[in-house]
Amino acid sequence: MATDSATSPAVSDTSRDALAGRRILRQFTLFAAAGYLLYGVQLAVPVAAASAITAPWYTPVAVLLTFGTGLSMGPLTWHAGYRRLQTITGISAIGYLIALALWWIAWDGGQIHTVQGLWLSMFPGLAAICAALAFRPAWAFVVLGVAVTGSVIADRLARHAEVIGPIVAQICWANAFSMVFVVASIMGRRTARILDDSRAEAYSTTADAAAAQARSAERARFDALTHDSVMSTLLLAARRGTSSELVQDARNALTAIDRAGSDDIDDEVGASQTLSRIRAAVALVAPQQRVSASVLDDTARYPAAVVTAIAAAAAEAVRNSQRHAGPDAHTRVDATSTPARLSVYISDTGTGFDPNSVPASRLGISVSIEGRMSKIDGGSATIESQHGRGTTVRLSWTRTN
């Protein structure tokens, strides 16, 4: 069943709108964390060598500010929101700059004799990548320039080796090399923002379409009222003149007009009629699908808006099951009616799905099921699905007064 939720309650609109951005930012953050892990393993010897020419306190502080913040991005990334991901990567970028600034204070003027050079000059691009994920592009390029320039100069001063080429060329080459990854990170964030904006626009368009449909339904209702009550009464008056039947029809027409202007038009639907509407909605999308009904009280009545929402949401859930559960899946629909609660469970034995892998453009669950149920007081929609274990959609409405 192509639904987009897990066992938890419906995701807020804000988190949905940032879904693509959060996923892409998480992937780039994990990439940066993996880079810190690899560099941490490779630079253990250069870090130890460089500690001989700095104050004793510097090396543990610098390692914590660089590798500590960089490696912590990995576990902190899981289940983190968009703002939290930006904070995590921003701290890592700033940590590197602080470590680089402190080097000039802690350096005792000595030199190291290693081929690799000063360990801070090995990964300034990682700090710039983190800055690209956390800040605006202009600040990311500033971080790149400062990190590369500062680390290259520090390396030239601290390393006892013959350096080939002028320092300006070395700085330019290091900036150009790291800029490739920084630009890729910036473009990834930009792509995510475009996807999220498109998703939000799709929600807005869907809402506008629903509003237009509601206006059309309202016009149709008033057209029916005019035809069935007003016009029929006027025809009766023209053909038969004054009569007791005309008086009764006129009273009924006036009552219908008064109700049309109030908020309680067809405000309640009986239990039997409610289940009939649910069956009819399901039959439109799956004519062979049976609906098992349990009515605990024939006198129960429900708001018409509730009945319409549950019937439509159930039909959407059945439609998704028919399309995506698989040819061998069995779908079951159970409806339960009590005076205080109306519930519909749609379950299948299909292949199931991973809610996190559903594309952001799929609006079936978020708009047609969860969105529809969230707009009625007391309504809720819960979706459970796992690979190989099928999917269950629970629609319910509980009377709040």
In the block, residue with structure tokens 């057209």: 223
Comparing 58-72, 240-254, 303-317, the range with the smallest average pLDDT is 240-254
Instruction: Please name which of 360, 347, 343 lies closest in space to residue 386, comparing C-alpha atoms.
Output: 347
> Is residue 4 in some structural domain?
no
Cα separation of 144 and 337, whole Å? 64
Strand partners, 381: 395
Query: Exposure string (b/e) for 144-164, b if CB count within 10 Å is 16 or more?
Result: bbbbbbbbbbbbbebbeeeee
> φ and ψ at 354, to 5 degrees?
-100, 110
Q: Note the pTM of the prediction, 2 decimals.
A: 0.51
The per-residue DSSP string of 129-148 comes to: HHHHHHS-HHHHHHHHHHHH
> Is residue 232 in some structural domain?
no
Residue 40 has pLDDT above 50, yes or no: yes
> Is residue 234 in some structural domain?
no
Instruction: Report the pLDDT value the prediction gives residue 12, as an integer from 0 to 100.
Output: 41
Q: Are 256 and 262 in contact (CB under 8 A)?
A: no
In the block, residue with structure tokens 């609660």: 341
Q: Residue 70: which residues within 8 A CB-CB, separation 6 or more? A: 32, 33, 35, 36, 37, 40, 92, 95, 126, 130
Domain shared by 146 and 276, yes or no: no
> Is residue 347 in some structural domain?
yes
Q: End of a domain among 204, 223, 257? A: 204
> Is residue 228 in some structural domain?
no
Domain shared by 170 and 265, yes or no: no
Local structure of 296: helix, strand or coil: coil
Q: End of a domain among 180, 204, 228? A: 204
| pLDDT over 90 percentage in the chain | 11
Q: End of a domain among 157, 189, 204? A: 204
Domain shared by 144 and 249, yes or no: no
Q: Residue 142: which residues within 8 A CB-CB, separation 6 or more? A: 131
Q: Residue 185: which residues within 8 A CB-CB, separation 6 or more? A: 28, 129, 132, 133, 140
> Is residue 216 in some structural domain?
no
Domain shared by 155 and 275, yes or no: no
The model's confidence at residue 146, banded by pLDDT at 50, 70 and 90, is very high
The per-residue DSSP string of 307-348 comes to: HHHHHHHHHHHHHHHHHHS-TT--EEEEEEEETTEEEEEEEE
By DSSP bridging, strand 391-398 and strand 301-303 are unpaired
Q: Strand order of the sheet with strand 379-385?
A: 291-295, 331-338, 341-348, 391-398, 379-385
> Is residue 212 in some structural domain?
no
Domain shared by 136 and 270, yes or no: no
Instruction: Report the pLDDT value the prediction gives residue 191, as an integer from 0 to 100.
Output: 81
Cα separation of 310 and 172, whole Å? 63
Cα separation of 124 and 274, whole Å? 66
Reading the block at residue 212, the tokens are 């237009």
Residue 145 has pLDDT above 60, yes or no: yes
pLDDT in tens, 181-215: 888 888 888 887 787 777 777 777 877 777 777 67
Domain shared by 111 and 251, yes or no: no
Domain shared by 254 and 171, yes or no: no
Q: Residue 304: which residues within 8 A CB-CB, separation 6 or more? A: 265, 266, 267, 268, 269
Domain shared by 69 and 176, yes or no: yes
Q: How many domains does the chain have?
A: 2
Of 132 and 244, which is predicted with more confidence? Answer: 132
- How crowded is residue 299: how many other Cβ atoms within 10 Å of its Cβ? 8
Range of the structural domain that residue 160 is part of: 13-204
Instruction: Report the pLDDT value the prediction gives residue 142, as an integer from 0 to 100.
Output: 92
Q: Residue 285: which residues within 8 A CB-CB, separation 6 or more? A: 315, 316, 318, 319, 322
Reading the block at residue 230, the tokens are 């007003």
CA angle (377, 379, 381) in 5-degree steps: 150
Domain shared by 159 and 17, yes or no: yes
Domain shared by 199 and 253, yes or no: no
> Is residue 210 in some structural domain?
no
Domain shared by 191 and 244, yes or no: no
Instruction: Report the pLDDT value the prediction gives residue 262, as an integer from 0 to 100.
Output: 54
In the block, residue with structure tokens 């890729």: 184
Cα separation of 300 and 381, whole Å? 22
Residue 30 has pLDDT above 50, yes or no: yes
CATH of the domain at 305: 3.30.565.10
Average of per-residue pLDDT across 139-151: 90
* Residue 219: Cβ-neighbour burial (10 angstroms; 0-12, 13-18, 19+): exposed
Domain shared by 158 and 247, yes or no: no
